[in-house]
Structure 1
Amino acid sequence: MQADTYIPRRLDDQWKIGFWDVDVAAPIVLAFFIGYLSASKAAFALCMAAGIAVSRWIARLKSDKHPAFALHWLYWHLPVNPATAMRATPPSHIRRMVG
């Protein structure tokens, strides 16, 4: 009774849309949706160009950083609300830590 067991090597990978990480592909998807709602070809092309530019900017920004860099950036720069507040870490407005 020898069975081939599959042992996954990467449990904590980022979510993907095709070949791209979600945080890189999200601006293109959002721009596609907004461009589709505009109902004109020029506005659609403009929205897609803006989405691709923002996506490339995000990809370059996080190129040599931690895979969850975008989540960390959002945590430190967005205001705290009950849905995003964490109990084990201090609030993001407290920048000095002692210890």
Structure 2
Amino acid sequence: MQSDTYIPRRLDDQWKLGFWDADVAFPFVFFLFLGWMSGTKWGFVLCAGAGFLLSRWISRTKADKHPAFAMHWAYWALPTNPATALRATPPSHIRRMVG
């Protein structure tokens, strides 16, 4: 009856791509793809550099904040469309809530 049971401690960790969180790695991968699509070596190098710098900026912006900071920022800053609209929360253009 006494058996060692594994209890996972990290069920809600963010998705990772290598060592990076997915929201930090996405700009680098996207710009890498754009550089590959450009078809030139300089275009690839410039896009990869821009993607790397943008990823570093995002990771520094996210530092010491909530793990879902990027998702929260996207909800409040970007316009609403049917794909991102949430039913349980008010629209993001309503800033004052009573209650």
Q: Same fold (TM over 0.5)?
A: yes
Task: Tell me how far apart the structure 2 counterparts of residues 29 and 47 of structure 1 sit (CA, whole Å).
Answer: 10
Structure 2 residue 81 is matched with structure 1 residue 81: yes
Corresponding residue number in structure 1 for 2:43: 43
**Backbone CA RMSD of aligned residues:** 1.0
Percent identity at matched positions? 71
Q: Report the AA paired with residue 30 of structure 1.
A: F
Task: Tell me how far apart the structure 2 counterparts of residues 3 and 87 of structure 1 sit (CA, whole Å).
Answer: 44
Task: Tell me how far apart the structure 2 counterparts of residues 93 and 73 of structure 1 sit (CA, whole Å).
Answer: 13
Structure 1 residue runs without a partner (length 5+): none
1:97 shift after superposition: 1.4
TM-score, normalization: structure 1?
Answer: 0.94
Task: Tell me how far apart the structure 1 counterparts of residues 75 and 36 of structure 2 sit (CA, whole Å).
Answer: 31
Output aligned runs, 1:53-64, within 5 Å: 53-64=53-64
Task: Tell me how far apart the structure 1 counterparts of residues 82 and 13 of structure 2 sit (CA, whole Å).
Answer: 26
Q: Report the AA paired with residue 6 of structure 1.
A: Y
TM-score, normalization: structure 2?
Answer: 0.94
